[in-house]
Amino acid sequence: MPPGIIQIRKKRLSTSKTASPFGKASWLNKSNVKSALEDPVFFATAADFRTWLEKHHDNLREQWVGFYRKNSGRPSITWPEAVDEALCFGWIDGLRKTTDENCYKIRFTPRKPTSNWSAVNIRRIQELVNQSRVRPAGLKAFERRAPEKSGIYSYENRYSAVLSKAAAKQFRSVRSAWEFFEQQPASYRQTAIWWVVSAKKPATRQKRLETLIADSKAKRRIKSLSRPGKSSVSSLDIIVPAKPYN
């Protein structure tokens, strides 16, 4: 483990905005500071990283973790193991950089309330909860996740997306629109639903829902989802089961 990394980070957090994060050491310029902060800490086992997180998950803003490649012959935690431990403490992996031919490093940071949650990580943290491995900080980070930020990385979610109960109720209230929509191929229905629910902002989701309802009422498909001159769905003309509401 490179000496002084943990100590340096603690000192940085305790200083004011105007003070040098490394005290009065005049030899440290901006490039030196950045280099020191990006020095990775290497963990031989997942247990070592977990012990580190127990001590520092709530007092550091980031930490670069180093990983030795298999052919290096050095003991090292693996990336999946590191992600599991990070999930347990409400942290997330991010930027990855190659250090040399024997190792690479990944930046880990505490999750923000606006952090994106992949479908894979959502499933994994639920498994970790069942194994009694998740700490209070990890549970808190998971419980405060935003619905619109959950599962957005998973391509398969395009085929399992559902309208919220409120949105489904609004759609069904316009009977002619709903009947037309129900008569469309499953591929179009699922793509249209994904188009609605994948919008980041609630206002945008509502606007798209209203467009879907209006077009369905007029007995036409959403223009942006159809190929010119064809009624089929562009790029996603695949038959899949549709679940328009939950």
The mean-pLDDT minimum among 55-69, 135-149, 171-185 falls in 135-149
**CA distances from residue 142 to 35, 83, 106, 202, 239 in whole angstroms, order as listed:** 32, 14, 21, 21, 33
Q: Does residue 22 surpass a pLDDT of 80?
A: no
Counted residue by residue, the chain has a size of 246
**Is the CB of residue 88 less than 8 Å from the CB of residue 49?**
no
Q: Domain locations in the chain?
A: 40-149, 161-225
DSSP designation for 72 = G
Q: Is 61 helix (H, G, I), strand (E, B) or coil?
A: coil
**18 — pLDDT class (breaks 50, 70, 90):** very low
**213 — pLDDT class (breaks 50, 70, 90):** very high
Q: Does residue 191 surpass a pLDDT of 90?
A: no
More confident residue, 219 or 231: 219
**Is the CB of residue 82 less than 8 Å from the CB of residue 49?**
yes
Q: What is the pLDDT of residues 144-181, one digit of tens each?
A: 887 655 655 545 566 667 888 899 999 999 999 999 99
**23 — pLDDT class (breaks 50, 70, 90):** very low
**93 — pLDDT class (breaks 50, 70, 90):** very high
